[in-house]
């Protein structure tokens, strides 16, 4: 036993992420991993060498026991490089005091990350047992025995299944006794499709056995209704399956479904949807669908509405989907062409209209401003010249609007429903607990108008088809219960069936109160979104409307003080996103959310000054993303610039400087002799490699995005130290200048090493990524010091790439609309026409256009299913707002001048021109109006802004500029730029004669 313990001790070692403690202790013939997550997210690891070639078929058995809360258990394998990782995961794992055996087979292992193109597990060098903080975190221990590996022979082909009555499975038969199917050996099975004849079994049982003697019940159907019954049997490996039914039902045939079919509820529903008539299931199960967010400011209530009119009642919650019958003809989303709209063209109160022959259905959704509830409304109108018999059927269905292809943080698709109950005023819909022992969640629907009929049904009765027959309440063991609420009426021409409904809360509303709540929501958003207004010519009005909607998207995506890019897939708070959204909110006169975010995020920094890349319900994440420190410093410094709150900056200084010192240690780690070799000279003095860019998740890279954010942090730390008269100011200034020199040297060395004529995204790759390079211009303010040719080439290449997407035969697959930052970059480079070309292209990719929002990913084929991230994506919204505002005014970093109208092209200046009111800058507010008066530029400038560098206007027309007057005084003009002194009010700039 001692020899075994020594061997184990030599093999296993422990480690943990920042803020987590871990200890590996060998105990006789087992290993114990003790952990304490404290107040952070992260992981505890037990690691050993495991040099092994893996066969095509095997089983790895791991005995586990322990104590502690619910967390995630991962078994990970790495190759000799340490860069390629495979894993088997057990989410929401709660250890038991007794030994339990985990079996891992090839089907349980997936490729996690790494640069290899061969994703198959073939040879490993190390193995890890990892406990990742999940729901509970806390402290505890996991004890496990040495893993036992068994190589298995390749699976042998099985003979054709044999039915006990001797007939083929697809043959029709009358069941007078149990029917047994013998596969001739253990077979992986995903489920069965039973097709009943006229006499069907309302009650039946499905059992399985490995030897034909000992049986285990897999599924009992207690209320079948005939037809075709899809029976999911996930993770089933068995030799025998037995069907037992009462009476003498007629079975038309049995279809054996593969493992993948029944692996998850999403897999089964997706398969059923593809085989069903279009419209039977939501669009997202068979083609790409789109949606938008409806929430209160701060996110207390958060629902979605889909492009077809379905409403998701809460994050991960079920949906309400409309169906219409007119004079006996039925309609779903597939039978109409839905159109979308926003109230007033910009308020976050979306609607979907179905237009049929002589009728319309309008679905709207709003979030109550005073309480966490949603306000839904359906208006079915007779637009014909004769009376019509209409029926509105609202299906309560176990599906999210967030579609099945969405998987980060919140898996889209099916939303389990275990119980539905109607009590004449409220429909109570119960979601089962995700983790055993947790309470179920019950959400209430309160129709303002009592439905004529409510029918609740389990999955075994009709498999989710909206129907008028059913019970007032139902419990469903398959967790796929559904219900239909019906209203019918005879409508005269022009008459409307109006059905309001309160989603959430504890009590119904009368119609008058419901109407008032809708009006209050509209009034709230008009006030909140009206701090900055843009007036534009009609062709540009969409930009003005989208700016206001984008602000709402940022405010609705918040979770209390946490700024988040999304509410489903990206339900986490990143300092990267928050800092850039903070800039946007400050310019739009919304400092309170930024202050709340900075105060909250500041409490999440690690003790060593490391700024977590993101924070979620589990705590701060330890993954190193080396832009984080610069972004936090910028966030709190910008707050001072816009608010002048010196006391708040002084309170933030200890954290700000701790982040700067952590970043300085990182920077110095790359100023080593090893990075002075010819092979690594292009990396000298940069921040270390990290995965802060999505494209670098497979392998960490020396991302210049990180470096320009780091340089921004140094610059802002110098500024903050000056404001606070800190003695560190001189030292930080030296660090800033040294870092800037290293960055510019690295750029030039990288272009030579990789033979490129543009600024690379990563110095270690020489890749093209202009969207990352935009940070060099803003907020880093390094545009004047970058090589002019490289800078010009970078954004010319980006412009050509975007414009080529519209060319006939273009084959690009997708892109991320973070690219909107390139609009701002082109404005700063003085290329207003190109900037507007890009903006027009990106505006065309709002989906749906009328909802003024972007997903994180835009696909060339709008209906090709792909992961697209949250809709809307609040970080993308902030990039759009920044681009739109920069057209009117931006601060030039090197001389603190404000450039006016740098992005206003002929389209903006046409007719009455364009104007912005209430735009905030670090130097005060700007009200600007500009127009083209027969070739003369007329500008009216008011507001409180007093920039140290004054104002600057660039000549916006193709011809040469001539004389200019400022407040009636003639000005001398040099070139195509006009210096405007602080206090100027009216500028008239004529063309050359």
The 3-state secondary structure of 640-670 reads HHHHCCHHHHHHHHHHHHHHHHHHHHHHHHC
Residue with tokens 């003697």: 213
User: Would you state the structure tokens that stand for residue 881, as one six-digit string?
Assistant: 């707002």
The arrangement of strands across the sheet holding 374-382 comes to 339-342, 350-356, 359-367, 374-382, 496-503, 441-447, 427-431, 419-422, 473-475
In the prediction, which pLDDT does 464 show? 67
The mean of the pLDDT values for the chain is 95
Mean pLDDT along residues 403-419: 95
pLDDT at 442 over 70: yes
pTM above 0.75, yes or no: yes
Mean pLDDT along residues 245-250: 93
Confidence of residue 465 (pLDDT cuts 50, 70, 90): low
How many whole angstroms separate alpha carbon 371 and alpha carbon 383? 35
Mean pLDDT along residues 421-442: 92
Cα first-last separation, the chain: 100
Contact 949, 896 (CB under 8 A): yes
In the prediction, which pLDDT does 7 show? 45
How many whole angstroms separate alpha carbon 121 and alpha carbon 88? 12
Residue with tokens 């040719």: 789
**Where does residue 619 fall: left (phi above 0), alpha (psi -120 to 50 degrees), or beta otherwise?**
left
In the prediction, which pLDDT does 698 show? 87
**Number of other residues whose CB lies within 10 A of the CB of residue 312:** 28
Residues 732-757 pLDDT 10s: 999 999 999 999 999 999 999 999 99
Contact 456, 470 (CB under 8 A): yes
Q: Is 734 in a helix, a strand, or coil?
A: helix
Residues 555-604 pLDDT 10s: 999 999 999 999 999 999 999 999 999 999 999 999 999 999 999 999 99
In the prediction, which pLDDT does 1 show? 31
Residues 258-275 pLDDT 10s: 999 999 999 999 999 999
Contact 528, 555 (CB under 8 A): yes
Residues 16-72 pLDDT 10s: 999 999 999 987 789 999 999 999 999 999 999 999 999 999 999 999 999 999 999
Residues 665-683 pLDDT 10s: 999 999 988 888 888 989 9
Residue count (the chain) = 993
Residue with tokens 């313990």: 5
Q: What share of the chain is helix, strand, coil (3-state, %, to 5)?
A: 25, 35, 40
Residues 846-876 pLDDT 10s: 999 999 999 999 999 999 999 999 999 999 9
How many whole angstroms separate alpha carbon 627 and alpha carbon 639? 19
Residues 836-849 pLDDT 10s: 999 999 999 999 99
pLDDT at 933 over 60: yes
Residues 152-208 pLDDT 10s: 988 778 889 999 999 999 899 999 999 999 999 999 999 999 999 999 999 999 999
How many whole angstroms separate alpha carbon 145 and alpha carbon 503? 50
> What is the 8-class DSSP label of residue 480?
B
In the prediction, which pLDDT does 955 show? 96
In the prediction, which pLDDT does 462 show? 73
pLDDT at 468 over 90: no
The arrangement of strands across the sheet holding 573-574 comes to 573-574, 614-616, 619-620
In the prediction, which pLDDT does 469 show? 76
Residues 628-679 pLDDT 10s: 999 999 999 999 999 999 999 999 999 999 999 999 999 999 998 888 888 8
pLDDT at 136 over 90: yes
User: Would you state the structure tokens that stand for residue 649, as one six-digit string?
Assistant: 């900056």
């Amino acid at each position: 036993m001692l020899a075994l313990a020594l061997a184990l001790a030599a093999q296993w070692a422990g480690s943990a992420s920042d803020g987590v403690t871990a200890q590996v202790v060998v105990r006789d013939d087992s290993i114990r991993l003790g952990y304490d997550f404290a107040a952070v997210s992260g992981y505890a690891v037990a690691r050993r060498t495991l040099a092994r070639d893996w066969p095509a078929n095997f089983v790895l058995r791991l005995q586990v026991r322990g104590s502690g809360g619910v967390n995630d258990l991962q078994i990970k394998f790495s190759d000799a490089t340490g860069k390629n990782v495979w894993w088997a995961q057990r989410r929401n794992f709660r250890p038991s005091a007794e030994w339990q055996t985990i079996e891992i087979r090839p089907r349980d292992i997936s490729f996690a990350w790494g640069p290899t193109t061969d994703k198959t597990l073939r040879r490993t060098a190390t193995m890890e047992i990892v406990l990742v903080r999940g729901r509970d975190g806390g402290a505890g221990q996991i004890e496990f025995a040495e893993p036992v590996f068994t190589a298995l022979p390749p699976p042998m082909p099985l003979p054709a299944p044999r039915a006990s009555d001797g007939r083929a499975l697809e043959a029709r038969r009358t069941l007078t006794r149990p029917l047994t199917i013998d596969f001739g050996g253990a077979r992986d099975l995903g489920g069965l499709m039973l097709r009943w004849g006229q006499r069907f079994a309302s009650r039946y049982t499905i059992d399985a056995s490995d030897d034909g003697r000992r049986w285990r019940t897999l599924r009992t159907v207690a209320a079948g209704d005939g037809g075709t019954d899809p029976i999911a049997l996930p993770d089933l490996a068995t030799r025998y399956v037995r069907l037992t039914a009462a009476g003498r039902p007629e079975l038309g045939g049995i279809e054996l479904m593969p493992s993948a079919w029944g692996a998850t509820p999403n897999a089964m529903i997706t398969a059923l949807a593809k085989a069903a008539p279009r419209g039977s299931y939501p669009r997202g199960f068979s083609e790409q669908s789109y949606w938008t967010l409806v929430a209160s400011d701060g996110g207390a209530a958060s629902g979605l509405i889909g492009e077809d009119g379905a409403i998701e009642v809460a994050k991960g919650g079920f949906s309400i989907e409309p169906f219409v019958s007119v004079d006996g003809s039925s309609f779903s989303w597939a039978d109409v062409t839905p159109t979308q709209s926003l109230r007033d063209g910009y308020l976050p109160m979306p609607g979907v209209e179905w237009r049929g022959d002589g009728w319309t259905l309008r679905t709207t959704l709003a979030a109550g401003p005073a309480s966490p509830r949603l306000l839904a409304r359906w208006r079915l109108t007779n637009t014909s010249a004769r009376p019509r018999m209409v029926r509105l059927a609202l299906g309560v269905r176990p599906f999210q609007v967030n579609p099945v292809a969405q998987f980060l943080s919140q898996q889209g698709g099916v939303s389990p429903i275990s119980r539905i109950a109607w009590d004449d005023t409220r429909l109570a819909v119960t979601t089962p607990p995700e983790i055993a022992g947790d309470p179920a969640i019950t959400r209430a629907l309160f129709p303002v108008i009592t439905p004529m009929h409510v029918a609740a049904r389990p999955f075994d009765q009709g498999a989710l088809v909206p129907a008028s027959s059913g019970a007032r309440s139902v419990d469903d063991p398959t967790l796929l219960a559904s219900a239909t609420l019906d209203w019918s009426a005879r409508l005269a021409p022009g008459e409307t069936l109006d059905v309001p409904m309160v989603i959430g809360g504890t009590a119904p509303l009368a119609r008058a109160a419901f109407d008032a709540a809708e009006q209050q929501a509209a009034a709230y958003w008009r006030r909140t979104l009206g701090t900055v207004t843009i007036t534009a010519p009609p062709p540009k009005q969409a930009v003005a409307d989208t700016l206001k909607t984008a602000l709402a998207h940022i405010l609705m995506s918040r979770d209390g003080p946490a700024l988040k890019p999304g509410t489903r897939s990206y339900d986490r708070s990143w300092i990267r996103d928050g800092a850039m959204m903070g800039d946007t909110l400050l310019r739009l006169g919304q400092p309170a959310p930024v202050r709340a975010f900075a105060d909250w995020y500041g409490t999440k920094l690690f003790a060593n000054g490391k700024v977590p890349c993101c924070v979620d319900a589990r705590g701060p994440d330890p993954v190193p993303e080396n832009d984080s420190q610069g972004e936090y410093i910028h966030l709190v410094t910008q707050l001072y610039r816009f608010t002048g709150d010196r006391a708040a900056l002084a309170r933030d200084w200890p954290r700000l400087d701790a982040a700067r010192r952590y970043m300085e240690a990182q920077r110095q780690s790359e100023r080593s002799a090893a990075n002075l070799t010819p092979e690594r000279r292009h990396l000298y003095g940069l921040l270390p490699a990290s995965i802060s860019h999505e494209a670098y998740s497979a392998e960490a890279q020396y991302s210049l995005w990180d470096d320009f954010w780091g340089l921004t942090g140094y610059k802002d730390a110098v500024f903050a130290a000056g404001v606070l008269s800190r003695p560190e100011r001189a030292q930080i200034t030296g660090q800033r200048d040294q870092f800037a020199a290293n960055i510019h040297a690295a750029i030039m060395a990288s272009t030579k090493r990789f033979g490129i004529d543009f600024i690379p995204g990563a110095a270690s790759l020489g890749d093209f990524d202009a969207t990352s390079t935009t940070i060099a211009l803003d907020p880093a303010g390094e545009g004047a010091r970058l090589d002019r040719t490289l800078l010009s080439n970078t954004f010319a290449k980006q412009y050509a790439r975007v414009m080529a997407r519209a060319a006939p035969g273009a084959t690009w697959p997708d892109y991320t609309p973070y690219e909107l930052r390139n609009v701002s970059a082109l404005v700063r480079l003085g290329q207003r026409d190109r900037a507007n070309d890009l903006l027009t292209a990106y505006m065309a990719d709002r989906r749906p256009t009328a909802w003024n929002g972007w997903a994180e990913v835009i696909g060339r084929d709008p209906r090709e299913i792909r992961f697209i991230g949250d809709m809307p994506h609040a970080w993308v919204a902030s990039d759009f707002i920044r681009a739109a505002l920069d057209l009117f005014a931006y601060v030039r970093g090197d001389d603190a001048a404000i450039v006016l109208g740098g992005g206003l092209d002929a389209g903006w200046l046409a007719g009455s021109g364009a104007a912005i009111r209430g735009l905030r800058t670090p130097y005060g507010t700007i009200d600007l109006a500009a127009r083209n008066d027969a070739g003369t530029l007329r500008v009216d400038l008011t507001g409180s802004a007093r920039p140290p560098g004054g104002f600057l206007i660039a000549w916006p027309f193709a011809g040469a500029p001539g004389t200019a007057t400022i407040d009636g005084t003639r000005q001398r003009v040099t070139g195509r730029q006009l210096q405007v002194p602080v206090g100027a009010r009216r500028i008239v700039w004529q063309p050359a004669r």
